[in-house]
Structure 1
Amino acid sequence: MKIHSPSLVELHAFLAVCREGSFRRAAEELCVTQAAVSRAVQRLEEHLAGGRLFERSPAGVTLTPRGVQLRKLTERHVLALESAAETMGRQAQPQRVRLSVIPTLAIQWLMPRLPAFNERHPDMNVELRQFKHDEDFTRDDVDLWIEVKRPRRRWPDHVQTRYLLGRELIPVCTPRWSKEFRAPQDLRRATLLHHTNFPDNWERWFAKAGAPCTPTLGPGFDLTMHLIVAAKAGMGVAVVPGCLVERELLQGELVMPFDIDVSCGRGYFVCWKRDTPAFTARDKFAAWLADQAHAEWSATDAGAAAANQGP
């Protein structure tokens, strides 16, 4: 049988230009030179013998009607081939897990535990991938995500999720600050550090503590890591997920002025694509994460112990 289809190299170059709207950006995506992309597209046009696939202009490139038709006929199938190759390659090397995780959780909770995982599973590698805000969970370079559940946002239908930890918020400050507070309502006059994405966290905490109010908030931060650093620096009192300050509480850098936690209704979730075949490394790592999250030791207990020890 005579083969009429063009090469995958040419189709990949064509589809990359379609996605990026630029030969230069397509070359960056494919990690080749711009000239290589141009030559591949030119060969594809000659192979199909039907004229140009792109209209070029100073503003970029746009598809011709023939280019639009070719993209519709080929894109899904080329992506399916890539997915198949990725799946087969993963099955051949099942001991790698690629993880995307919120940076603060990675630094404060995951990293201190990874050495124990590596010691227990020396044949498995956990590779961290770039964390992206507003993730759509369609990337092919990630096997598992650890993401926060955002308010008024549903998980996409193509994603399976499992709650991990992080719903419980606790107040923390330096030992010196904690001496100034005798009752929860005393915190109203403190400098209340807050997360700018979740400004109602303090109001939730005061309500749970039996001192409902509309608190006056102090400095705001868009990362929990920044909140923790600010609290350690003595800038005020922060309310944060207890799992993110385990080390600081155990070492006495931070204490809980009051042993009261409140659920924020969010927390961190392990996520993976429903249609991705299961494989041993991913499943083992996900199970280990669950074990770590549900360990008997709790940040709240540690915080209470640290507070009782004093500065």
Structure 2
Amino acid sequence: MTATTDVPDLAELERRAAERAAARAGGTDRLGGHIVCDGLVRIFKTDGIEVVALQGLDLVVDRGELLAIVGASGSGKSTLLNILSGLDVPTAGIARVAGVDLLAMSAKSRLRYRRHTVGFVWQQTARNLLPYLTARENVELPLRLARQRVDGRAGELLEMVGVGYCADRRPAEMSGGEQQRCAVAVAVANNPEVLFADEPTGELDEATAADVFGALRTINAELGVTIVVVTHDPQVATQVRRTVAIRDGRTASEVRRSARIADDGSHELHTEEYALLDRAGRMQLPASFVNTLELRERVKLNLEPDHIEIRPGSDGK
């Protein structure tokens, strides 16, 4: 008598692969975010030399979250944004946005992803708006390319970001802040699930930058779009509930902010900073802590009942 073995179909194989991926990432909950990066690696080769831009980066962003990513030049934040935007492909790891596996996309699906799933606002206004079109025409263009009904959506979006009065102006007739707010309207014209903004206020003064970030907050609140802002501007970073810092190609720390009611009934902003642990238990101490205590090479660790003590080494360095 010959035993028969059921051959798994494609759906079953995909389910098993998802379970294995979840197990590698520490469980299904870890992969439940709207944006998920797990063990993300990106290696570039230049003149025979390998440069590691991302070294096992982990990041989870919830649906509807407004998040800032900060980091020094060369930290890997721009590489991360290019991967999440579908403009680059990671060398290894897991990268998923709105349920889309960024490592498994074909060229055709990658184009569809950039057109419909995500939106972009770049620092350079020339990348956001066509100079020979009015603000309204710029917002309508993505709709027309997708063969969607235009109706009054362009006007509604321009009003939402506070530049409805610029509807019939070309970019050259607008200020830098007005151009960037129009760019936000263009980026969400196709109802993307996620909006990526790369230094959207980098070329603006403080007051104008506040207007642009106000437009991003409005879009986040009114449309429920998940927004990730990459910036080096500390003022921008303080306007979100969560700021993630990247250092040496890894997520190093994050700051969480929440409003609390003080004893006198007034509202106050409460801020807490966390170091991030990877699956191996590694973490990076904030650079300010390292510099203040002049930590070098090694530190002493003491396990207490409810915390861990970290002290300079015996030689004081």
Task: Give the TM-score band, short-chain normalised.
Answer: under 0.3
Structure 2-normalised TM-score?
0.26
| Bigger radius of gyration | 1
In the superposition, the TM-score normalised over structure 1's length comes to: 0.26
Higher helix content, 1 or 2: 1
